[in-house]
Structure formats: C-alpha cells, structure tokens
Amino acid sequence: MAAVDLSTHPGHLARRLQQAHYLLWNTMVSEEITSPQFAVLNALVAEPGLDQRTVGERVGLDRSTIAEVISRLGRRGLLDKVRDPQDGRRSLLRLTDDGGRVHRKLTVRTARMNQVFLAPLSGDEQALFFSLIQRVSDAAEGLRNPVAPGEPAVSRAP
C-alpha cells in the first residue's frame, strides 16, 4: 500500500493553516479572546443589536458554538443581551464599552498578525488566495450531506 500525498488533500492543508493561524493568534493577538469571539465582537460593531442566531450566521458558527461564545463574552462583560421590544422571546446583543475597547485593541493586532500570516504571498497572490478560499468556504457552507462520486445519497430522518 502506498502513502497518499497529503499536499493534495485540502482538509490536511486547511488544518495546517488553522494551526498556523491559532499559533499567531495566541502570540500576536490574544490569549484571552479567541478568533471566533473576536468575529462576534466584530459582527456587533458592524451591526449592533443583532440576535444570537443572526450573529452566528454572520460569523459562520453553529447554534451550540455561538451560544457558548455569546455566554463567555457576556461573562467577561464585553456584550449585553437586551430583550427585543418587538419580540420578548428574542434577545438582542450589543457591545459594552469594554467590548468596544477590546474590539479596537484587537483590530490593530489582527491587522499585524495578518501581515505576518500572509507575508509569503505577494499582493496579487494574497488577493487570489482570498478569492479562492472565500469561494471554497462559501461552497462548503452549502454542503449538508456530501456524497462521494458513485455513492448513493444517504437519507437522514429528522
């Protein structure tokens, strides 16, 4: 049996890329605030007053993950939940003053980290990299029940 060339496996490369990102994030940005937590803060800077489900959609986090991220940010005093005056069952999210300060500080740090992360690529290569990774990411979000070529689709009962 021959070994496969993992340099042709996108999942393997994505994992290595994620490991590099995680290392840079922890050394250059924050050991306390994670990248997904920063994404939530950023979404609320862009659109204050979103509900939890919408924030999760904006930043690409599933329901259980976004619930935990929101809970952690709330415990740290970085965001507040307020009842939606039009729908009492729904909570709207807003950054606290501390949350805004943390976001501003981390925004500067993420810009520096991204420069280091992308340093191996020229400006044109960076633009191409972003275009390609965005296209693959967008397509991947649409996959709910992937099927290998030649295999029948598997039905999942609700």
The reported pLDDT for the residue numbered 148 is 61
The reported pLDDT for the residue numbered 88 is 81
**pLDDT tens, 29-53?**
999 999 999 999 999 999 999 999 9
DSSP of 74-126:
HHTTSEEEEEETTEEEEEEEEE-HHHHHHHHHHHHHHHHHHHHHHTTS-HHHH
**For the sheet containing 79-84, what is the strand order?**
50-51, 87-95, 79-84
Q: In which residue ranges of the chain is pLDDT below 50?
A: 155-158
**What is the pTM for the complete model shown?**
0.84
Please check whether residue 117 is in contact with residue 27, taking contact to mean a CB–CB distance below 8 angstroms.
Answer: no
The reported pLDDT for the residue numbered 85 is 87
The reported pLDDT for the residue numbered 142 is 75
Residues in contact with 27: Cβ distance below 8 Å, sequence separation at least 6, in sequence order: none
For tokens 């930043």, what's the residue? Answer: 59
Please check whether residue 137 is in contact with residue 128, taking contact to mean a CB–CB distance below 8 angstroms.
Answer: no
Quote the CA–CA distance of 44 and 58 in Å, as a whole number: 10
Fold of 17-140: Arc Repressor Mutant, subunit A (1.10.10)
DSSP state of 5: -
The reported pLDDT for the residue numbered 95 is 97
Residue 137 is inside which H or E element, if any? Answer: helix 123-141
Please check whether residue 20 is in contact with residue 117, taking contact to mean a CB–CB distance below 8 angstroms.
Answer: yes
> What are the angstrom distances between the C-alpha of 33 and each of 12, 62, 136?
26, 19, 27
The reported pLDDT for the residue numbered 143 is 74
